[in-house]
Amino acid sequence: MTDLDAFRAEVRAWCADHIPADWRQTQTGVGEDEFVRFQKAWFAELHAAGYAVPHWPREWGGGMSVPQQVVLYQELAAHDAPRLVLAFVGIHHAASTLLVAGTEEQRRRHLPAILDGEIWVQGFSEPEAGSDLAALRTTARRVDDGDGHFVVNGQKLWASGGMHADWCLLLARTDPDAPKRKGISYFLLDMTTPGVEVRPIRNAIGDSHFCEIFLNDVRIPHTNLVGAENAGWQVAQATLGAERGMTMLELAERLANNGFRGLVDTSDVGDPLVADRLAQLETELTGLRGLCRKVVEENEGGSAGPADASVVKLYYSELLQRMTDFGAEIGGMAAQTELSKPASSGWESGSWVLDFIGSWEWTIPGGASEIQRTIIAERGLGLPREPSVG
């Protein structure tokens, strides 16, 4: 038995002992308080086993090799483990940002706190600055009043999980006269700060995890600035790179296991047209899994291409749409009428119609598909930028 086989056996045994068999039933229709309680309890279970942040450096509680991470995610998916919906931004985006650009003090303050259950939200998009993030208008004005603060005013939109968040990754404009990408700074915002107001937004499938965040004279200490002042655009690439790259390793395994397995189970595989579509989807899923693994390995080795993460994000999100669309198409009346889902499931709820509607969200956050294609064209293929009109 190889070391990887032994690790798989270890994870498989742990899953059999620790994953609640009835979590889908008990989490369907629950309120927000129960959702938060369950998510934090499940995160604590994974953390105690050493499985919560396998992608983090060893000194911060991670250190698994890429093959080990693949095995871990394969087994969690195969055993239908709940997904870490609530901790997602903290363990991926916040951690990646702090590890790449944070100070030692910021890392020591927040990385252990994330492992203890600290929840994060991403405050990037705005009403008129979504795909064109550099057009953001939230302002941060430096005030040297003895203790050193920035005073922030503005509004953020589509902040997933904002109503539960303890901290926010915030982009704000600190130099209004600089070119769009050169006058932005990156902050860590304590969500309990006076002047922060969160308003949930109900989406098309009945969830309210999207939020608006209103910032009215919010004071952020200078020590909560990440990277240099006016260099926040560069710091943000670490956050977006995590969203488009590393996070896809787990999501690809779940799509290939939970998602595709459920699709096969509800399909008439004797129908040649259905069998052909399933074969096509399985081929695409195999390619996605291989691509995700390659990108993560190259990223850890420092050889990842400038557009690789965008390729993964684009591939995953559009494959997710095609697969859930097919599930809704062949699921018959049951797929159209089963409109309840566990609060802790993410997209893989088993309700094909709800999952299909929810899949459209994935082609927008972290850079819409159109933006990803532009990045791939310019950074990956070296094509010239289209000249401005007017």
Question: Of 76, 94, 112, which residue constitutes the final position of a domain?
Answer: 94
Q: How far apart are CA 343 and CA 82, in angstroms?
A: 10
Looking up residue 353, the CATH number of its domain turns out to be 1.20.140.10
Shared domain check, 69 and 194: no
> What's the pLDDT at 23?
95
Q: In the prediction, which pLDDT does 387 show?
A: 60
Query: Do 90 and 165 fall within a single domain?
Result: no
267 burial level (CB within 10 Å; 0-12, 13-18, 19+): middle
Contact predicate 347/320, CB 8 Å: yes
Total structural domains in the chain? 3
- Per-residue model confidence (pLDDT) at position 390: 40
Q: How far apart are CA 162 and CA 125, in angstroms?
A: 13
Q: What span, in angstroms and rounded, lies between the C-alpha atoms of 378 and 314? A: 15
**What is the per-residue DSSP string for 279-299?**
HHHHHHHHHHHHHHHHHHHHH
Are residues 24 and 56 located together in one domain of the fold? yes
pLDDT of residue 360: 87
What pLDDT is recorded for position 246? Answer: 63
Q: Domain of 220: which CATH number?
A: 2.40.110.10
Coil/strand/helix, residue 193: coil
Look at the pTM and tell me if it is higher than 0.75.
Answer: yes
DSSP 2: -
Q: Note whether 276 and 356 are same-domain residues.
A: yes
Judge whether 50 lies within some domain.
yes
The verdict on 260 and 368 lying in the same domain is yes
Task: Judge whether 107 lies within some domain.
Answer: no
pLDDT, residue 245, reads 57
Q: Which residue has the tokens 């795909």?
A: 131
Is 385 inside a domain boundary?
no
Write down the pLDDT at residue 296: 82
Tokens 């702090």 sit on residue: 98
**pLDDT at 256 (0 to 100):** 87
75 a catalytic residue? no
Q: Is residue 238, in this structure, part of any structural domain at all?
A: no
Q: What is the pLDDT of residue 389?
A: 43
77 and 132 part of one domain: no
| Segment 169-190, tens digit of pLDDT | 999 999 999 998 999 999 999 9
Sequence-distant (6+) residues with CB within 8 A of 134 are: 180, 181, 184, 233
Domain assignment present for 100: no
- At residue 244, the pLDDT reads 54
* Pick from 203, 193, 173: nearest CA to 185: 173
89 and 126 in a single domain? The answer is: no
Residue 368 is predicted with a pLDDT of 85
- CA distance readout (Å), 312 to 118, 248, 260, 360, 364: 28, 7, 18, 16, 14
DSSP one-letter string for 130-161: SSSGGG---EEEEE-SSS-EEEEEEEE---TT
Q: Output the domain CATH number for residue 67.
A: 1.10.540
Please check whether residue 255 is in contact with residue 320, taking contact to mean a CB–CB distance below 8 angstroms: yes
- Shared domain for 56 and 89, answered yes or no, is yes
Residues of the chain where predicted confidence (pLDDT) is lower than 50 = 389-390
Q: 139 with 178, same domain?
A: yes
Does the residue 203 lie in any domain? yes
Residue 331 lies in a domain: yes
142 and 189 both lie in a single domain:
yes
Asked which of 162, 197, 230 is the last residue of a domain, the reply is: 230
- Note whether residue 115 is domain-resident: no
Domain of residue 185: give its range. Answer: 120-230
Same-domain status, 281 and 363: yes
Which residue in the list 104, 128, 212, 243 is annotated as catalytic? 243
- What DSSP element (H or E) covers 187? strand 184-190
CA distance 152 to 139: 5
Last residue of a domain, one of 50, 77, 94: 94
**Same structural domain for residues 86 and 150?**
no
